[in-house]
A and B are shown apart, each in its own frame.
Chain A
Amino acid sequence: MTRAKTTETTANVGRVLRLDSSRVTFAKTLVVCGVLLLTLLLIVALMSLFGSEKLPARAALCALISFGKASCGLTADQDAILFDIRLPRILLGAAVGGSLAVAGASYQSLLRNPLAEPYLLGISNGAAVGTMIALVFMGAQEWSRPLLAFSGALAATFVVYRLAQGRTGATPERLILAGVIVTTFLSSAIVFVTTLMDATRIRSFTFWLLGDLSGSTNKLLWLALFIAVAGTFVLAAHARSLNLLMLGERDAFDLGVEVSRVRLVVFIVASLLVGSSVASSGSVGYVGLVVPHLVRLSLGSDNRITVPAAAICGAIFVVVADTIARTVIAPRELPVGAITALIGAPLFVYLLRRR
């Protein structure tokens, strides 16, 4: 009797948590995203303990949980390190990682190309050129940076998309080649703008270009966080259309998808995501490749789960990568883009060879 009951309970738990079943349901998405969100919170708290200045773990966690209202025995200096330096940087890392991963996942489905990624397609570089122009010519106005970054990302997106459309349609290789062309072209534009800068700024600038979370402002942080969350929701709302687009534009059209409208929405939202993250932290590469790939590997290809899951996992990935970047050669720092590329580039080679 007891035994039968136990088996039944196990079966019920199995039914609720059926993570391995082939079909993605709303319940499964909620459970997966809930677990991932908790993991992200845990990682954020944990990573804020690491750094060149050691913080007492219990006191720091206590302060974090009380949102800084209780001092929990931290000194004023430690409090400032935690809330004014580390936490903003970690949150920015989360926003940037989420933005890039969700943009990558959407590009991949829309362009039917597992290799599509904002950095590799030159879209990050487009945003970087925009940011630089804003920095050099409109330095005083802070809002000009994300705005021009967004415009640059959008322009690069459309150019790459047009270049990739051959007479026989866009093949994955053609798209990557178009990305290379746009990237190299924009790189020379970046070099050109760099020469217009004074020598003292150039070093911090090259650092930023490689993807660096240390040079942002609070306004840019809030903007990046807002766009990351809002963008993820908008793209997740188009996940079912993306599922069909993943199988081909013509099939999607036949099944009722308004292909050109969805494409426009994805291009604009992804450009906003890439633009806001580049404006605040430069071009962090390969996040949009590594994270969606791993998410699909474990959760399948249904965008209704991969889009939100990629956002959260991207946040985790960059927060961890940045913790490595700022601790591994402390007190000096690496740009976080160096760490993500170190992980991403071999994966890219693997994906390319497997095709």
Chain B
Amino acid sequence: MLEARDITVRYGPRPAVSGVSLTLAPHQVTAIIGPNGAGKSTMLRTLNGGLEPAAGELLLDGERLSSYSRRAIARRVAVVAQEADLRFPVTVFEFVLGGRYAWASTAGWGWETSRDVEITREVLRETQLELLSSRLMNELSGGERQRAVLARALATEAGVLLLDEPTANLDLAHQAAILALVRSRCNTRGAAALVVTHDINLAAEFSNQVLLMKDGRTVAFGRPEEVLTPEILKEVFAVRVLVDAHPVTGVPRITPVHEALR
């Protein structure tokens, strides 16, 4: 669906990402993990054309990404960014309806069709926001607002979802709710999801493949149990970790061992 080959991105002379390859396939959740400054978010922003790669190739449904118009990309690739700050009062419904922008037939006044409204209602139901739909965005709690951001991305009906730390600052229940929604999109509609996260356990539990990055390079790429080994993680994060199997799900469970804190 979305394929990145040998991508290099530079800010000035210094490469933020160098030679990273990645394939996002239907039904698959891919996680990008790595220390701060590893180039995770840069990679994510490159994948929807937000940043221009200095080298490498991006293919969306087999065509070069640069050959698509801005709208055409937005219909196929949706981004869930970290929380936006809102300076004007916007209702939840209006906010989520924004996801339908790229589907408007003309660039004109762009009144939404009844289908746009229908889809917006549907994702509001899916994200359990229908009762809040006429509330203002800045009246919502952090968890509800993040759900609205996800709802807007789902309203685009894009086959590729790019999520930049979608669960940062959320409590356990809200984290699970967000990820369950992403998972169900992948399972039922064949979407492909990419999640940038700092939570290694979450990546282990939730993803089909993990890309581990450091200093803009790929350290390892593969199934969670291949990538999340004590040796690799110690090398990348410079912290000793214990890896065992999760007692319920059996996926790798990572526990850092911080001797210095005792």
Contact = CB atoms under 8 A, between A and B. Distances in A.
A69 interface: no
B134 to A, nearest CB: 4
Nearest to A238: B107
A26 interface: yes
B122 to A, nearest CB: 16
30 contacts: A23-B91, A23-B93, A25-B111, A26-B109, A109-B88, A112-B88, A113-B87, A236-B109, A237-B109, A240-B104, A240-B109, A240-B110, A243-B94, A243-B98, A244-B98, A246-B88, A246-B90, A247-B84, A247-B95, A248-B85, A251-B81, A251-B84, A253-B50, A253-B70, A254-B74, A254-B79, A255-B101, A296-B89, A304-B110, A304-B111
Contacts of B95: 247
Interface in A223-253: 236-241, 243-244, 246-248, 250-251, 253
B233 to A, nearest CB: 31
Interface of B: 48, 50, 70-71, 73-75, 78-79, 81, 84-91, 93-95, 98-99, 101-102, 104, 107-111, 133-134, 152, 156
Contacts of A236: 109
A113 B81 CA distance: 21
Contacts of B87: 112-114, 172, 246
A254 B109 contact: no
Contacts of A172: 87
Nearest to B134: A22
A166 interface: no
A178 to B, nearest CB: 17
Nearest to A21: B134
A302 interface: yes
A31 to B, nearest CB: 14
Interface residues of A, number: 34
B53 to A, nearest CB: 16
Contacts of A254: 48, 50, 74, 78-79, 81
6 shortest interchain CB distances as A-B pairs = A256-B74, A256-B102, A240-B110, A254-B79, A22-B134, A256-B71
Contacts of A43: none
A302 B98 CA distance: 11
B7 to A, nearest CB: 18
